[in-house]
Structure 1
Amino acid sequence: MYALSLTAELAGVTNLRPNDTPENPFHYTFKVQCTSCREVHPNPVTVSRFDTNEMSGSRGEANFVWKCKNCKRESSASIKAAPTPYEQAEPARAQNVLEFDCRGLEFTEFIPEGEWLADGIESNSKFEAIDLTEGEWFDYDEKAGEETVAEC
């Protein structure tokens, strides 16, 4: 079992999470490595918990199936449950937001592409379309009268 662990400095917001619903699936982007030959895929790959792919030999389905070009082994990964919101903490600490069952591969780097959501701590304001690709996001909570920040 592998987990996507996130550490974020949050100010004015909590419950940072990917916008991941059946109507709007989030595509988690990773760099992937084969655990057999240690070959790293040259391009980032995406995994959605709402997509399923058949594994060869009718061994079932997984959210992500990959055949290593170097050793030709097939590997798979499945997301175990919906993402867990990252809660604001002082000081910032690592929190698991997603769990995977990986067979024959490792996700070596998470690339936070896609739309994220958060809630205002004092105001319960809803923040949508948060972009963390640059590692940080800034906004202003009108109800609370304060700046909001997420730095990952």
Structure 2
Amino acid sequence: MVFFMLYVSAELDKLTDIQPEGGCDDPNFVYLFKLRCENCGELTQKETCVVLGETVPLTNGRGTANLVQKCKFCGREGTIQMIPGQGRPLSLETSQSGGSAPLMLFECRGFEPVDYVFGDGWKAESTEGTKFNMDLSDGEFSEYDEKGEFPVEITNLRGTFKVVHKANHWGKTVYQ
């Protein structure tokens, strides 16, 4: 099993705390990304939808996962389990220092998440405290803060998956 963290980075102008509308552990927030099969390397044609609040039973009958799917090319089954409590919003300070913020942790078996796609259901706050709900499908956002009387903006929005922990099937760490 491999654990992948989704990191979010962007250039922020007078905005802070970018995160899903219900917070980083929002059970209804939709994560969209493509999957690469670890067996054959095939990349899914369409984005896969994974939601923390939705689970399906494992085919072996031992528990649930947020996603159970077969590779369309080789037929091998893979699973993804989301692990809440690891994310935090992207702050203005983190953005200005060129950093990124962890959003969600994914335990992956048989698949590797790639090519995160931003969509609707995000929120942020201006430096004056004005709250904004956003659709980030275009990879950017710009609006005017009436209270602060200045424009706010998000540009160069990126989502990146990074391996944060890898273990073999006996649970022994082989990379960390």
* 1:65-119 Cα distance to aligned partner (Å, 9 max, x none): 1111222211111111154211113133222111111111011110001221001
Identify the match of residue 92 of structure 1 among 87, 91, 98. 98
Runs ≥4 in structure 1, deviation > 3 angstroms?
none
* TM-aligned CA deviation for residue 140 of structure 1: 1.0
Name stretches of at least 5 consecutive residues in structure 2 with no aligned partner: 158-176
**Is the 1:26–1:114 contact (alpha carbons within 8 Å) kept by the matching residues of 2?**
no
3-state SS of paired residue (1:139): strand
Superposed counterparts of 1:115-126, under 5 Å: 115-121=121-127, 123-126=128-131
Cα-Cα RMSD = 1.4
Q: Flag the structure with higher strand content.
A: 2
* TM-aligned CA deviation for residue 48 of structure 1: 0.4
3-state SS of paired residue (1:57): coil
3-state SS of paired residue (1:115): strand
Count of aligned pairs between the two proteins: 148
Distance 2:120 2:144 in 1: 21
Could you state the TM-score of these two structures normalised by the residue count of structure 2? 0.79
Distance 1:78 1:119 in 2: 30
Name stretches of at least 5 consecutive residues in structure 1 with no aligned partner: none
1:56 partner letter: T
Distance 1:98 1:84 in 2: 8
Distance 1:95 1:84 in 2: 6
Q: Determine the structure 2 residue equivalent to 1:102.
A: 108
1:139 partner letter: E
2:58 aligned with 1:58, yes or no? no
Distance 1:52 1:100 in 2: 14
Could you state the TM-score of these two structures normalised by the residue count of structure 1? 0.91
